[in-house]
Chain A
Amino acid sequence: MKNSRNQSKFGLVAGVLLALSVLLMACGDSTATTASTAAAGTTAAASATTAAAGATTAAGATTAAGTTAATATTAAAAGATTAAATGEKFKVAFVYVGPIGDGGWTFAHEQARKKLVETLPNVEATYIESVDENPTTSEAVITELAQKGNKMIFTTSFGYMDPTINVAKKFPNVYFEHATGYKTAANVAVYQVRQYQARYLAGIVAGKMTKSNIIGYVAAFPIPEVIGGINAFTLGARSVNPAAKVKVVWTNTWYDPGLEKTAAKSLLNAGADILGQHQDTPSILQAAQEVGKYAFGNDSIMESYAPKAHLASPYWDWSPYYIERVKAAMNGTWKTGDYFGGLKEGVVDLSPLNAVVPDDVKKLVDEKKAAIKAGTLDVYAGPYKDQSGATKVAAGATLSDKDITSINYFVEGVDGTIPK
């Protein structure tokens, strides 16, 4: 029996060690949090955070304020005075499909949420990330948010459409906003941005910069948003360079850095010297930088990952919309709607161009941008043909918003197929 006793003693020691290391990690964690807050604001803000957290703890669970990091940051931003006397804040919640660290889609929404709480100090905006699009999970999460006193809930992925509608029926006094979907109700609005406008501008840059006249495009899934983006990019490129072709490969994933890089390399190997993309990672930029070629970012500004290769990023700034809608909800002027904002509204833009882009191209992009903003240039205005050469949109005609959001064909100049 001696042996076994020794062994269990060893087990005990190891167990204690494990517990200790976990504790140490937790300590490291709390300092990390403080450090990042300090980096975001000031040291005063950091101490205010602690104070606010302490205050909430002291107040106990009576107020609905909770102990969220978001509350603390807001309190800190508003100054120390609010820490105790916040009272009722307007509670808003965001449901994210990916982690806020994805560097793309969810990252952009999270930036907008932060801007929202900075701009409207009386708003408490929490988020729940990595919520599966599975209806069991997402509907439960949205329900819980509605139960717990949120006045407004933003669901930021297409897959939340039915769950959002279902929950909205049960909570008529809560406002719901669903991104990229098409089902509305009295208390459910939908919103989307005209990504294609920025992609058209990117296409102009690509068309001007390409030497091989082969432009690659790494695309995630064949949904209208992506297909329309490829079309707009191609129309932009061919508006300045009719010989340019856009070669498309599908990855069938939003997020797989390794795979996306392989896809990018295959396009580079096929002679592409510029890469466009609709993915959530910067791997395409990195692949281009390795071989001295150029690429575009997507969803958020991805310049820092590959500054040499980065020509520009079409990116979305959701904050103007969020601020406007939350304000409306607070004033009681909120109405359901189908928002489709673009360059003009400031929710879509193309980031500043790489220094290697010649000045005349920069000027051209600025002009086109101004024209789109002024409404004198319509990206989807005819005439243009589809891949088979049949005229899709005649001269003088254009696409309706419904056509844009349900597009399912490639325009002439795209080299690739939509999987059917």
Chain B
Amino acid sequence: MSLKQRAAKELEIQKKLVGLPPRQIYPSTAFLAIITPILSILVALLIAALILFVSGRDAIFILSEIFRTSFIQNFAETVVKAIPLILAALGVALAFRARLWNIGAEGQFYGGVLASTGLALSFPNLPALVIIPLMVAGGLLGGALWGLLPGLLRAKLEVNEIISSLMLNYVALLLTDYLIFGPWKDPEGRNFPVTATFSDESRLPTLVEGTRIHFGLVFAIVAAGLVWLLVGRTKWGFELKVMGDNLKAARYAGINISRNIIIAFLLSGALAGLAGMSEVTGVAGRLQQNISPGYGYTAIIIAWLARLNPWAIIMVAILFGGLVSSGFTMQRVGVSSGLVTLLQGILLFCVLGGESLYRRLLYQAALRRSNLTKES
């Protein structure tokens, strides 16, 4: 208890220093919090439409086609894309709470993929009730293992975690190549780089009949709930927040920083690993090259745009799932992929810009209030 009090006191001082009066500004800005992302997206769409129009394309047709395809007709596919994104982004967000830049979700995703694939290939005869929990555990563990090294190095030696986690992504990819070109190659696969197809028992069950939405969605929602509880409702979550706000204050308050860094990286990696496990057993059913089209990197952007809020991550991930498919829809109606990438970048900048303006408005509102209180 005394720890919490001391940290809270530290925070209080900290907030006074920055001029942020605690709490009372938030209710008045709830409206702002919702309206900014919506406005940003609208502005981005407007710019996209303008560019398409200027380059001689039917912008309205293209945009409505995207909406029809990704969010109505093939909404299920959008959700399928969102599942690994949600899980990986939750992991990334957890680490970001403590201002730990885990750029390694991609590698941790592969950690989970490799562990669960190894289990599926080793035990093709186990019933689903045994093998699936085993693979879930394996996926979590594989991802955590891949997250352990950057966490450990950061905690013990202050090695920059951006780089160590990023480098491990490449290592994971090469390890995957080694396995599927070597020991794990499907004996029936005519020497192509794929593993054998998993047994039906070791496939994650489909959740919605007639679509590809699989049980991973349940993992994603449960994980979102757990992260929400962990971050918002436990002492450990509070410690993470303090570490993120001010490392010195956290140290002063007696928080065991290096232990928390390691745990944060383990959990962060485990979630990305679970994403990998659900992707390889829920969708693919075998391991092949390029099992992730960069989920780990997209997850970083999602976590940030969702303001690290687990529930918002689900929404943003679904939007991103749609954004990814919309790229291909645009190509289908004749927009070149280079322009698609460019438009996606512009969209991001708009949303980010809106997001930051919102933060500044908050700050200025706070400043104004603190000035007012000073004057009175």
Do A and B come into direct contact in the complex, CB within 8 Å?
Answer: yes
Whether B182 lies near A420 (C-beta < 8 A) is yes
A26 to B47, CA, bound (A): 11
Most chain-A Cβ atoms within 10 A of its Cβ — which of B65, B178, B191?
B191
Whether A148 lies near B332 (C-beta < 8 A) is yes
Whether A144 lies near B329 (C-beta < 8 A) is yes
Query: What are 8 residue pairs bridging A and B, where the CB atoms are less than 8 Å apart in the complex?
Result: A22-B51, A26-B54, A93-B332, A99-B337, A131-B328, A144-B325, A147-B73, A223-B192
CB under 8 Å from chain A, chain B span 338-375: 339, 346, 364
Whether B292 lies near A134 (C-beta < 8 A) is yes
**Shortest Cβ gap from B242 to chain A (Å):** 29
Partner of A30 from the list B54, B279, B290 (CB cut-off 8 Å) is B54
CB-based nearest B residue for A253? B177
Whether A29 lies near B328 (C-beta < 8 A) is no
A416 to B331, CA, bound (A): 42
* Residues of B contacting A136 in the complex (Cβ-Cβ under 8 angstroms): 80-81, 84, 212, 279, 283-284, 293
Q: Does A68 reach chain B (CB closer than 8 Å)?
A: yes
Whether B334 lies near A67 (C-beta < 8 A) is yes
* Residues of A contacting B178 in the complex (Cβ-Cβ under 8 angstroms): 419
Partner of A129 from the list B73, B84, B337, B346 (CB cut-off 8 Å) is B337
Whether B80 lies near A140 (C-beta < 8 A) is yes
* Residues of A contacting B336 in the complex (Cβ-Cβ under 8 angstroms): 69
Known: A134-B290, A143-B77. A224 touches B192 (CB 8 A): yes
Q: Does B58 reach chain A (CB closer than 8 Å)?
A: yes
Chain B residues with a Cβ closer than 8 Å to the other chain, count: 53
- Partner-B contacts on A (CB < 8 A): 4, 19, 22-23, 26-27, 29-30, 33, 50, 53, 56-57, 60-61, 66-71, 93, 99, 126-137, 139-141, 143-145, 147-148, 158-159, 162, 182, 221-224, 227, 252, 402, 405-408, 419-420
CB-based nearest A residue for B295? A134
Partner of B337 from the list A26, A27, A130 (CB cut-off 8 Å) is A130
Partner of A140 from the list B64, B77, B346 (CB cut-off 8 Å) is B77
* Residues of B contacting A126 in the complex (Cβ-Cβ under 8 angstroms): 332, 334
A314 to B181, CA, bound (A): 25
Known: A67-B61, A419-B181. A33 touches B334 (CB 8 A): no
Q: Which 4 A-B pairs have the closest CB atoms?
A: A68-B334, A132-B293, A406-B190, A26-B54
A223 to B288, CA, bound (A): 13
**Shortest Cβ gap from A142 to chain B (Å):** 10
Contacts beyond the supplied A147-B74, A223-B193: 14 A-B pairs with Cβ under 8 Å: A23-B50, A26-B54, A50-B56, A56-B58, A67-B57, A68-B332, A131-B328, A135-B284, A136-B279, A137-B328, A140-B328, A144-B328, A402-B190, A419-B178
Whether B193 lies near A140 (C-beta < 8 A) is no
Known: A70-B334, A252-B174. A128 touches B212 (CB 8 A): no
Whether B285 lies near A405 (C-beta < 8 A) is no
Q: Does B257 reach chain A (CB closer than 8 Å)?
A: no
* Residues of B contacting A162 in the complex (Cβ-Cβ under 8 angstroms): 284-286
* Residues of B contacting A139 in the complex (Cβ-Cβ under 8 angstroms): 212, 283
Whether A137 lies near B293 (C-beta < 8 A) is yes
**Shortest Cβ gap from A143 to chain B (Å):** 7
A394 to B259, CA, bound (A): 66
Partner of A4 from the list B290, B325, B364 (CB cut-off 8 Å) is B364
* Residues of B contacting A127 in the complex (Cβ-Cβ under 8 angstroms): 331
Q: Does B3 reach chain A (CB closer than 8 Å)?
A: no
A57 to B52, CA, bound (A): 13
Most chain-A Cβ atoms within 10 A of its Cβ — which of B56, B77, B283?
B56
